Structure 1
């Protein structure tokens, strides 16, 4: 009887039911679209963080140099004598100014903390390569040139400098200063750390057996600018490294120009058992905060950073769009949803008023108020479910349109925990990439519709039907048969 009467009433009042359902559908569709956009924003931010810091990295540990530590330019001793053209070159591998190093013992301490699944270290270095040729005419001289403070490649300072203990020479000097970044990586665990977010597009990656080999992986952009390919050789501090692979970041830029085995980087830079960054993976997301606290206590003076700490520093159009979706979109969807519920309730109540004689007759025939209320709420609930189906369709269409036509967004990361060294070398943060704030990452915004968002839409549809039916049922329950029969529909 209940379902028969319900079906007949809905068929008899198709237009009114459709109006109520469409009102709910608009609100539910907007909520579903905003929810999908918010999920897309989180995915985009996660993509930025992963591309810059490494997939699987939950925490990074770095250490800043104390006041008076790690500063100053790089000095190259240049000796000039006789006449004619003479060439001179020098190579310096240094840790970025403002960055202090951690020890292998501290890495072991971090790896032994509760909640730590894995921990690997890396050493990020700046390579200052000086090449010069001198054309001298008589005299001898010896001096030191501060390469880090030079005016740049191709500078031509005057040769009339005063020598120390010799005849002042005359002539000119042509020199170039080339700087690039090198990162020593643990070849025994490539799933964690700077190389985990890179894709080998040519050649091969390191193997665990190459922990002390003279091999390198080059960043694709750097390899293109220097015309490097698989099989090429690069000279680092007098040692020739063979390029075995070319790596490309999924988005943005990688943290270094060249990657070499950690042991070789430590040896060449005279930084035995030293690290600039420790990458940590927690056993689960719930343990990240506890691990951070334990590491800070176990290794004093360090900067412990989680991905959530850095997510707030993502700026650019991605950040603006995320704020818009989170704030304006949320309140707008709530306002539209509240209006849809209110309109549905008023329309249902209005329909009850038009059915006064009908409900009065039913009550006169023995229907109790509870049964009348149930009938009204059943009809409203069906309207709500229809509205939910239409709302999900609208939400899916809106999400698909956003995914198809949304512009490419840019994002950059600000650094508050690290200083950048010369040549753009990062000094800390997640793989040090936080210091590359000037380099933007481009991401395409998507609006994924998740099962959870569809569940929210269904819940809202049911809630809308219950709200509308409850209000209309309350009005119907107040009708008295005698009063109802006096009224004409």
Structure 2
């Protein structure tokens, strides 16, 4: 009917308050879907971040189940509660189905009279995974270690700045002096391998009084990140009980909000979208109900039921498109605001940062929230289809009344 489009335009123009209510309801559902989906993706990315910079999917350690031994109050020692792996066990991890690479490293602490520093022993030949990747990719001054090199060290940028130490100078660890050959900036995406000082693995083993084949951390790269739990189980079968840092375990550290957002963001987004649809259905039903007399008059003068439903379908489609557009803009804006939420500190800072005030901690970045085209498309589809469907259902319900009854209804 040629009168349909002018009629729809006139209704939208003269019933602005009701139209705005429908658009707001649709927009709310679309915005919630986008914002909640983006929040979930942000928590998932935050959980992956501490491992992403070292190209690892899990960091494996072995809890020390033996009787605590007498430890000196000062000097170099292993972190409390950690036992070691030998080179044979690292090779066993490397051959686990699904594992691409397993690289061992050694973390030790140096308890000094005024501060405690962390030292990482790094295999100079391993640059693809683990702390060796940091020394290869994130240097800001100098160079990394050469194979077989001794008596050298690379410093973390904050540590070097705090102690005003530059490339070419020397640093003392325990009772040994090392030449500084490089300075590295450890980014948030590599926090699982953060240390104050990096030494060649053989140097760190000698410093800690350990055999040459001993490490206490193994950085594992998995072919498919979804297989991390299965890989951890296989590693446990081969080398005994281990503790593994994985993205899932980091999500657990985030607490209830992080777990819900990361694991159930899709469900939460769908619930938000449904809530918006319910509101839009309520508004559209009210829009149709207040025009019951009008519908009866149209049908009395010869309009068919399909014509009336077509009018409301076109009207609901227009309102749904407007609501989707507003909701997408609002959802993207909300996601942008969510990115200012500080990303959770999933890993403890090195001792010199954590408890002794000897080095500045890195600033915490915001939550890595991003808006995906999938979320935007889903929000638009749900908004338009939902609003149009709600308008059609409401109109069909109204047109079931006989014209005479519609004319006398309030």
- Which TM bucket (shorter chain)? 0.7 to 0.9
What corresponds to 1:232 in structure 2? 169
- 1:292 deviation in Å? 2.1
Is 2:185 the partner of 1:248?
yes
Is 2:390 the partner of 1:391?
no
User: Aligned runs of 1:404-483 on 2, under 5 Å?
Assistant: 406=340, 409=342, 411-413=344-346, 442-445=364-367, 448-480=370-402, 483=404
What corresponds to 1:171 in structure 2? none
Distance (whole Å) between structure 1 residues aligned to residue 15 and residue 202 of structure 2: 73
Could you give the per-residue CA deviations for residues 94-129 of structure 1, whole angstroms, max 9, x where no partner exists? 222321001111111111111112221111112346
Are the counterparts in 2 of residues 37 and 446 from structure 1 also a CA contact under 8 Å? no
Distance (whole Å) between structure 1 residues aligned to residue 255 and residue 362 of structure 2: 9
- 1:246 deviation in Å? 1.4
Distance (whole Å) between structure 1 residues aligned to residue 249 and residue 92 of structure 2: 23
What corresponds to 1:56 in structure 2? 55
Corresponding residue to 2:212 among 272, 290, 294: 272
Are the counterparts in 2 of residues 360 and 484 from structure 1 also a CA contact under 8 Å? no
Are the counterparts in 1 of residues 60 and 245 from structure 2 also a CA contact under 8 Å? yes
Distance (whole Å) between structure 2 residues aligned to residue 94 and residue 371 of structure 1: 83
Could you give the per-residue CA deviations for residues 246-266 of structure 1, whole angstroms, max 9, x where no partner exists? 122334976311112223322
Structure 2 gaps, min length 5: 356-360
DSSP 3-state at the match of 1:313? helix
- 1:39 deviation in Å? 2.1
Q: Which piece of structure 1 moves more, 223-232 or 44-53?
A: 44-53
Q: TM-score, normalised by structure 2?
A: 0.80
- 1:222 deviation in Å? 1.4
User: Aligned runs of 1:161-176 on 2, under 5 Å?
Assistant: none
- 1:42 deviation in Å? 4.2
- Indicate how the Cα distance of structure 1 residues 487 and 33 shifts in structure 2: closer, same or farther if over 3 A, else same: closer
Are the counterparts in 2 of residues 411 and 440 from structure 1 also a CA contact under 8 Å? no
Is 2:202 the partner of 1:203?
no
Question: Could you say what the CA RMSD is over the residues aligned between the two structures, in angstroms?
Answer: 4.1
What corresponds to 1:257 in structure 2? 196
Larger relative strand fraction: 1
User: Aligned runs of 1:354-393 on 2, under 5 Å?
Assistant: 354-363=294-303, 367=304, 369-370=305-306, 372-393=308-329
Q: Which piece of structure 1 moves more, 340-349 or 244-253?
A: 244-253
Structure 1 gaps, min length 5: 77-91, 130-151, 154-177, 427-438
Are the counterparts in 1 of residues 57 and 222 from structure 2 also a CA contact under 8 Å? yes
Is 2:96 the partner of 1:113?
yes
What corresponds to 2:124 in structure 1? 187
Are the counterparts in 2 of residues 28 and 457 from structure 1 also a CA contact under 8 Å? no
Distance (whole Å) between structure 2 residues aligned to residue 196 and residue 236 of structure 1: 23
- 1:65 deviation in Å? 0.9
Distance (whole Å) between structure 1 residues aligned to residue 211 and residue 158 of structure 2: 28
- 1:245 deviation in Å? 1.8
DSSP 3-state at the match of 2:102? strand
How many aligned positions are there? 399
Distance (whole Å) between structure 2 residues aligned to residue 461 and residue 32 of structure 1: 6
- Greater CA radius of gyration, 1 or 2? 1
Are the counterparts in 1 of residues 156 and 184 from structure 2 also a CA contact under 8 Å? yes
Distance (whole Å) between structure 2 residues aligned to residue 488 and residue 423 of structure 1: 78
- 1:422 deviation in Å? 7.5
Distance (whole Å) between structure 2 residues aligned to residue 15 and residue 300 of structure 1: 73
Are the counterparts in 2 of residues 94 and 125 from structure 1 also a CA contact under 8 Å? yes
Are the counterparts in 2 of residues 56 and 191 from structure 1 also a CA contact under 8 Å? yes
Q: TM-score, normalised by structure 1?
A: 0.68
